Structure 1
Amino acid sequence: MRSSLFFTALFTMCLNVAFSQQPLKNIHSKKLANGLEILVIQDSTVPLVTLEIACKNGSCTETDEYNGLSHLYEHLFFKANKDYPNYDSFNARINELDIHANATTREEVVNYFFTLPAEKFKQGMKFMNSAIRFPRFAKADMKNENEIVNAEFTRHESSPIFALIEANSRHMWGENYSRKNVIGRHEVILSATPAKMDSIKNKYYWPDNSVLVIAGDINVEEAFQQAENIFGSWKSLGADPFQKWPVPEFKPLRANDYYIVESQHSQNPYLLFSWHGPDTRGDIPGTYAADVFSLIVNQNGSKMKKALINSGLAQTADVNYYTQKYTGPISFMVSPNPDKIEACYQEVLRQISLWDREDYLSDAQIERAKRLLSIKQIREREVTSDYSHLLSFWWASASVDYYLHYEENLNKITRKDLVDYIRKYIRDKPYCAGMMLNSESVSKVKPQEFFHSK
């Protein structure tokens, strides 16, 4: 029987072969004269092509009176435009081209994609061009979609932890809350007009604020040529919309901010600690360290998990960092044992106080975390249509180069980098701390007596 050391060495050797292919050879890029970035991912595994266009838009661009309208715009993309004057004609064309279509709206990007047979690539490109460049925002379409998007919002509100997430966002971002609130506000969504949709288009829907990803069974030169033929006439804005309409900087937290949320939607109590973390404009190394640290403490064998889960103090405990261009949030969410809420809270504080100790993380944990994150990157590239979404996200919130060199830079992270990250963003830094309980638990636990800054 061969030893586990042999299998570890074999696994590492195979993985290093995969790493040696970086930067990825099947990604090709070009920028058109109008500023439109083209990324082509060549993969002939199946005769399909995914066409994805993404714009740097989303909640980060929204003032209070526009909050939720980037998401509404996403829905209207699939409605009437210059070449398909109503929803029925648009939908008929989707069926003719055997398209699977969808889109997502995030804080810093909105992306639209079609997956269709490779033989219909050119028709799909023309169809995408019609939708992205020539929307009509018909009143009938808006009336329907206003209600649909508002209903989606209502579904979000039914989540057991919605009230806590909502309160956390308001405490974390203050007067700029709308810039992180992707789902929006009911009254804004329901009162949206074609003029507001046009305003969004005229600010952000330009080739020099967009990327086109073509992924799948496609010839690279043909992909570039069709992109030039079809999208080359799209006129550029000629300016950076984020300089004309800058995203305001989020004000740093000045002191610990405690709040209690009473909600009947969840029978389980929750604690949520949040900090302002690194972003890709000011601290790229910090974003890598944040990823490594979060993965380590979220492993079942970590000191944090042992102290909170194995001890019976909590049912769940997870640290998360969300990479963003405009202040990436760090969060630590815990679901305490209902009978041990105060003890769990005290242990959460103790764990946070230990995170920057030199002996809190082992060498093996650090190396394993970097390896697992690298494996995750490889797995995320296995489905080409999903890969296109990944590229458009990083294009908007960091850069394609950030993504292509992610594993290389990840492997440079040291123990010192992790300690520096904790000391720069978490240890002894102001945070928002929320506790969510139902009314019965509030009466029993009396959180106001202990859940506060000392």
Structure 2
Amino acid sequence: MIKSLSCLFVAAFIGISVQAQTTAKPSKLPPNMFQHKLANGLDILVVEDNTVPLATIEIAVKNGSYTETPEYNGLSHLYEHMFFKANKDYPSQEDFLNRVSELGIQFNGTTSYELVNYYFTLPKYNLVEGLKFMNSAIRYPKFDAAEMAKENVVVDGEFQRNESNPYFALNDEMNHRLWGDLYSRKNTIGDHQVIRSATPAKMDTIKNRYYWPNNSLITVAGDVKHEDVFKNVDAIFSTWTPSGFDPAKRWPVPEFKPLQKTDYFIVESDLSRVPLVMMNWHGPDTRTDLQATYAADVFSYIINQNSSKFSKALVDAGLALQVNIGYLTLAHTGPISVFVVPNPNKIRECMAEVKKQMALWDSDDYITNEQIETAKRQLEISQVKEAEITSEFTHTISFWWAAASIDYLSTYVDNLRKVNRDDLKQYVRKYIKNKPYAAGMLISAEARQQLKPDTYFKAD
């Protein structure tokens, strides 16, 4: 799937021997994928691929910026960094890295809106030891104060590098306009002061809220056999005590308030060589409108092609250097974004044409039947390509498990094939046409003075 890039309640089993449940293989899973759940609530997915003698172990946790109040903004990302530090079984950073070397591990992690994931790729003969190593890291982090003080600076340094990109200022202001007082829930990079002042106690708080087996997925992919993986994961992870509560219910994510009016703003940056324009709407989510998420993918693919009426009216006509639309599927209000690089000499005309074209997006003749079928076929091919590199496909699995479900991933093509013209029109009318949005322009101070966009870049 191409993207612009329910937690289960499980009672605690304290003092009870935890046994693995019977393996269930939903009919929609591909023949080389196998799903399983331990009695403590840990989801397991195995992808068998004997192309190369490697295995990837990935643990995904339903955490990320969407769980963060302002005083914790950015700490999911800091936690990700601390994951690869000392723990109970490897009491120093040196011990941790020595074990990484011994097992031949390549490791990394990512933090996004609704997911934090950690992954090891290693020779298949080290799989069991790799699972034990992952178990130590996920269950017993040490949060050493001295190491954490160093990592605070490292994470804040990443933040500063992001700020050096002129696009950052536009995107950050857009997030403030889109999400209002819930801005921190969509700000993955965080807040400088929060990151710099973070303490081990705050890391413990995050762990005690979200790092439980009933809020996690472990995916093992590569040259493995699912029966062996299930047995080994059960032996190593079954003693991981579940939370006894549903984190999503104990610390619910507030609903994002709909935009009340269209909002225009201008951000200055002398790093910007040409003006950039972004227009964002609140889009569908996987909790309340699954059908619209498939329509959004098809519609975005069509509009982004050079052959689309949108591209011809703007790029081919010389009004814009580039145009793009994207939708990010999330469980909590995925944004719809239109990105335009206008011809600096024709910004007024460009924006007028953008609005004219958007008003036609739900017209019967704006998109052809051939474009619809081609889009669905190309999106299907893209999903097949994503599964070709198994060590990368684990990230796709984690994303969809967190944003929707494994079933969403396994039934995506079937649901994609059902999308028709009426679905596309309904998507445009429900989320885009005549709906409030935020529109931002990034421009240098010199260009702003010369081009005077303030006189026309504003709400109607």
**TM-score normalized with structure 2 length:** 0.94
- C-alpha separation in 2, matches of 1:364 and 1:419: 16
Counterpart of 1:71 in structure 2 is 77
Q: How many Å apart are 1:222 and its aligned residue?
A: 0.7
Distance in 2 (alpha carbons) for counterparts of 1:250 and 1:441: 35
Distance 2:33 2:106 in 1: 23
- For the pair 1:109 / 2:109, whether they are aligned, the reply is no
- Correspondence for 1:322: 328
**After the TM superposition, which parts of structure 1 deviate over 4 Å for at least 4 consecutive aligned residues?**
none
The aligned counterpart of 1:190 is 196
Partner of 1:25: 31
Q: Does 2:449 match 1:443?
A: yes
Q: Secondary structure at the match of 2:377?
A: helix
TM superposition shift of 1:23? 3.5
After TM superposition, give the deviation of residue 220 of structure 1 in Å.
Answer: 1.0
- Structure 2: distance between partners of 1:190 and 1:133: 25
- Aligned counterpart, 2:45: 39
Aligned counterpart, 2:366: 360
Name the SS of the counterpart of 1:215 in structure 2.
strand
Q: Give the Å deviation of 1:268.
A: 1.2
Query: In structure 1, what is the Cα distance between the partners aligned to 2:116 and 2:441?
Result: 32
1:133 aligns with 2:139: yes
CA distance in 1, matches of 2:446, 2:350: 19
What letter matches 1:51 in structure 2?
A: I
Tell me, in whole angstroms, the C-alpha distance in 1 between the residues paired with 2:61 and 2:28.
Answer: 26
1:272 aligns with 2:268: no
Q: 1:379 aligns with which of 385, 400, 407?
A: 385
Equivalent residue for 1:214, pick from 220, 224, 229: 220
Q: Structure 1: how far apart are the matches of 2:28 and 2:318?
A: 44
1:161 is paired with a residue whose SS is: helix
Aligned partner of 1:5 in structure 2 is: none
Opposite residue 141 of structure 1, the aligned amino acid is E
Q: Provide the rounded CA distance (Å) in 1 between the counterparts of 2:295 and 2:244.
A: 36
Partner AA of 1:87 in structure 2? Q
1:22 deviates by: 5.7
Q: With structure 1 as the length reference, what TM-score do the two structures score?
A: 0.95
- Counterpart of 1:314, as a letter, is A
Residue-by-residue CA offset, 1:384-420 (whole Å, 9 max, x unaligned)? 0111110011000000000000000000000000000
Could you tell me which amino acid in structure 1 is paired with residue 203 of structure 2? M
Partner of 1:200: 206
In the alignment, what sits opposite 2:263? 257
How far is 1:449 from its partner?
A: 1.1
Find out whether 1:430 has 2:436 as its counterpart. Answer: yes
1:4 is aligned to none
Q: Distance in 1 between matches of 2:281 and 2:250?
A: 29
SS at structure 2 position matched to 1:243: helix
Is 1:93 the counterpart of 2:99 in the alignment?
Answer: yes
User: Matched residues in 2 for 1:228 and 1:94: separation?
Assistant: 23
Please report how far the alpha carbon of residue 242 of structure 1 lies from its aligned counterpart in structure 2 after TM superposition.
0.7
Instruction: Please give the secondary structure, in 2, of the residue aligned with 1:373.
Output: helix
Segments of structure 2 that go 5 or more residues without pairing to the other structure are: 1-26
Structure 1 residue 160: Cα displacement = 2.5
**SS state at 2:166 partner:** coil
| Corresponding residue for residue 159 of structure 1 | 165
3-state SS of paired residue (1:332): strand
Equivalent residue number for residue 245 of structure 1 = 251
| Counterparts of 1:361 and 1:314, CA distance in 2 | 21
Moved more, 443-452 or 175-184: 443-452
Percentage of identical aligned residues: 55
1:135 and 1:52 map into 2 onto residues whose CA distance is 17
Counterpart AA for 1:353:
A
Q: Which whole-Å CA distance do the structure 1 matches of 2:94 and 2:325 have between them?
A: 46
Partner of 1:342: 348
User: Deviations for 1:102-131, whole angstroms, at most 9, x for unmatched residues?
Assistant: 000000000000000000000000000000
Counterpart in 2 of 1:11? none
Determine which of 224, 234, 243 is the counterpart of 1:228.
234
- Equivalence for 1:51: 57
* Alignment match of 1:123 (pick from 125, 129, 141): 129
Q: What do the CA deviations read for 1:369-390 (whole angstroms, capped 9, x no partner)? A: 0000000000000000111110
Tell me, in whole angstroms, the C-alpha distance in 2 between the residues paired with 1:92 and 1:266.
44
Q: What residue number does 1:80 align with? A: 86
Matched AA of 1:386: E
Q: How does 1:161-176 map to 2 (within 5 A)?
A: 161-176=167-182
What one-letter code is carried by the residue in structure 1 that aligns with 2:314?
L
| Offset, 1:289 | 0.2
Distance 1:209 1:23 in 2: 21
Counterpart of 2:363, as a letter, is R
Distance in structure 1 (CA, Å) of the matches to 2:219 and 2:59: 6
Q: Is residue 2:291 matched to residue 1:289?
A: no
The root-mean-square deviation of aligned C-alpha atoms, in Å, is 0.8
